[in-house]
């Protein structure tokens, strides 16, 4: 069975500060890992994905994530937070059968 755990249900940063959202996974097969962003009353937008190619994955809006097998982690980072980054972020894991499991989500607040 596959699962992800997001550490911290709420993260608050100042505008211009580093954003770090943590995600650890559990998978019995090589995982496919994803980060999605959700704005209020909207669906999920794909930020980036890891599918066994490069371990450092760059996504949209300046976000990136690094797959670390030894730590079973896939943390999401952005060097400088912008007000528009305030949203809910979900980490997800998928296997060969497209069955995707989501973390509980992390709400990012950006302070001016």
Partner 1 sequence: GAVVSQHPSWVICKSGTSVKIECRSLDFQATTMFWYRQFPKQSLMLMATSNEGSKATYEQGVEKDKFLINHASLTLSTLTVTSAHPEDSSFYICSVADSWTQYFGPGTRLLVL
Smallest distance, partner 1 to C-beta of residue 16, A: 27
Span interacting with partner 1, options 13-21, 68-76, 79-87, 95-103, rule CB under 8 A: 95-103
3-state secondary structure 67-112: EECCCCEEEEEECCCCHHHCEEEEEEEECCCCCEEECCCEEEEEEC
Q: Which of 18, 20, 54, 104 binds partner 1 (CB under 8 A)?
A: 104
Note the residue count of the chain. 112
Residue 86 touches partner 1, criterion: CB under 8 A: no
Q: Are the C-beta atoms of residues 10 and 104 closer than 8 Å to each other? A: no
Contact pattern from residue 46 through residue 85 relative to partner 1, giving x for each residue in contact according to CB under 8 A and a dash for the rest: x--x-x----------------------------------
Span interacting with partner 1, options 14-22, 39-47, 63-71, 79-87, rule CB under 8 A: 39-47
Long-range contacts of residues 50-54, Cβ cutoff 8 Å, at least 24 apart = 50/74
Beta bridge partners of 32: 94
Q: What is the contact surface with partner 1 in residues (CB under 8 A)?
A: 32, 34, 36, 41-46, 49, 51, 90, 92, 94-96, 98-100, 102-105
């Amino acid at each position: 069975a596959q699962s992800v755990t997001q550490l911290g249900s709420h993260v608050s940063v100042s505008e211009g500060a580093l954003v770090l959202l943590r995600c650890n996974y559990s998978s019995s097969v090589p995982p496919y890992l994803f980060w999605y962003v959700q704005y209020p009353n909207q669906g999920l937008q794909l930020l980036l994905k890891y599918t066994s190619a490069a371990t450092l994955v760059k996504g949209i809006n300046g976000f990136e994530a690094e797959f670390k097998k030894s730590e079973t982690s896939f943390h999401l980072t952005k060097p400088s937070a912008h007000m528009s980054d305030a949203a809910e972020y979900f980490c997800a894991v998928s296997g060969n059968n497209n069955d995707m499991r989501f973390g509980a989500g992390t709400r990012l607040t950006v302070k001016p």
